[in-house]
Amino acid sequence: MRVTQTMLSNNTLRHISDSYRKMGKTQDQLSTGKKISRPSDDPVVAMKGMAYRTNLTEVEQFKRNLSEAYSWMENSDAAIDKATSVLQRVRELTVQASNGTLEASQMSMIGTEISQLKEHLASIANTQVAGKYIFNGTDTDQAPVNTAVTSFSNNTAPVNLELSKGIQVKVNIDPTRLFNSTMFGDIKDLEIALSTGNGAAVGSFLSKLDTHLTNVVTERAEIGARSNRLELIEARVGEQEVIANRILSDNEDADIERVITDLKMQESVHRAALGVGARIMQPSLLDFLR
Q: Domain boundaries in the chain?
A: 51-248
pLDDT for the residue numbered 281: 62
- What does the alpha-carbon distance between residue 243 and residue 249 come to, in Å, rounded to a whole number? 10
**Model confidence band, residue 272 (pLDDT cutoffs 50, 70, 90):** confident
Q: Residue 215 has what pLDDT?
A: 92
Nearest to 79 by CA among 202, 216, 193: 216
Dihedral sign computed on CA atoms, order 186, 189, 195, 199? negative
CA dist., res. 1 & res. 134, Å (int): 88
Comparing 19-28, 129-138, 148-157, 204-213, the range with the smallest average pLDDT is 19-28
Q: Judge whether residue 276 has pLDDT over 80.
A: no
Whether the CB-CB separation of 108 and 197 falls below 8 Å is answered with yes
Mean pLDDT of the chain: 84
Using CA atoms, how far residue 52 sits from 32, 178, 213, in Å, is 19, 44, 50
State the DSSP code for 145. B
In a 10 Å sphere around its CB, with 0-12 CB exposed, 13-18 middle and 19+ buried, how is residue 14 labelled? exposed
CATH of 51-248, one of 1.20.1530.20, 1.10.1270.20, 1.20.1330.10, 1.10.3470.10: 1.20.1330.10
Instruction: Give tens-digit pLDDT for 77-126.
Output: 999 999 999 999 999 999 988 877 778 888 889 989 999 999 999 999 99
Distances from the Cα of 34 to the Cα of 40, 85, 249, angstroms = 14, 59, 9
For the segment 152-180, the average pLDDT, to the nearest whole number, is 89
What whole-number distance in Å separates Cα of residue 279 and Cα of residue 144?
91
For the cut 70, the answer to whether the pLDDT of residue 280 exceeds it is no
Closest CA to 32 of 252, 248, 267: 252
- State the chain's maximal CA–CA distance in angstroms: 137
Q: Which whole number is the average pLDDT over 149-159?
A: 87
Average pLDDT over residues 206-229: 92
pLDDT for 244: 87
pTM: 0.75
Residue range 257-264: mean pLDDT, rounded: 75
Using one digit for the tens of pLDDT, what is the confidence trace for 33-89? Answer: 777 777 777 788 778 878 888 888 999 999 999 999 999 999 999 999 999 999 999
